Amino acid sequence: MNKELLLKNLRSIHDFPIPGILFRDVTSLFKSAECMQELDNTLYEMYKDCGITKVVGIESRGFVMGAALAVKLGAGFVPVRKPGKLPAETISETYYKEYGTDTIEIHKDAIDENDVVVLHDDLLATGGTMLAAYNLVKKMNPKKVMINFIIELEDLKGRDIFPKDAQIDSLLCLDGE
């Protein structure tokens, strides 16, 4: 993986969405064809031999590379969304995050016991959103669940809230500051 390319194209925005936060903006990676190809190829190489049957993308930035990875792996794509956005019957999970509480939903029939799942999102900060998604997927009893992020803010220790046996992979490990 060409980390220099990705880091050179990653935008950091001070005091967004609130004062004191340094926001790592992956949309600057998505607008570059070269970065998109680098992300796509790297993710594929990580998971090509894992038997993935479903890629679960977290709203909304997790949809971009999650869907691309699903296509490349020949797997299905499952969106995790905010309440009221999915049309069929859902299950939901409410969780705490950096700025308050939130809820996410997944279609009740999206995953089954034969699936091998990788959950994907753009960034691991405190981990609340992904832990909620992980808990939702685990309720469906798939064979295996893996977790992937483009960026992990290591100093925020988000991975510490996950079970010790959770497989978590991050492409870029950075400080939150």
Among residues 38, 61, 81, 93, which one is catalytic? 61
Is 61 a catalytic site residue? Answer: yes
Which residue, 43, 35, 85, is CA-closest to 68?
A: 43
E strand or H helix that includes residue 117: strand 116-124
The residues, any chain, with a CB within 8 Å of residue 146's CB and separated by 6 or more, are 47, 50, 52, 117, 118, 119, 167, 168, 169
Contact 81, 104 (CB under 8 A): yes
- Strand 54-58, strand 116-124: pairing: parallel
**SS3 for 42-88, per residue?**
HHHHHHCCCCCCEEEEECCCHHHHHHHHHHHHCCEEEEEECCCCCCC
Among residues 59, 98, 154, 159, which one is catalytic? 98
Cα 33 to Cα 163: distance, rounded to the nearest angstrom: 36
Which positions are annotated as active-site residues? 61, 98
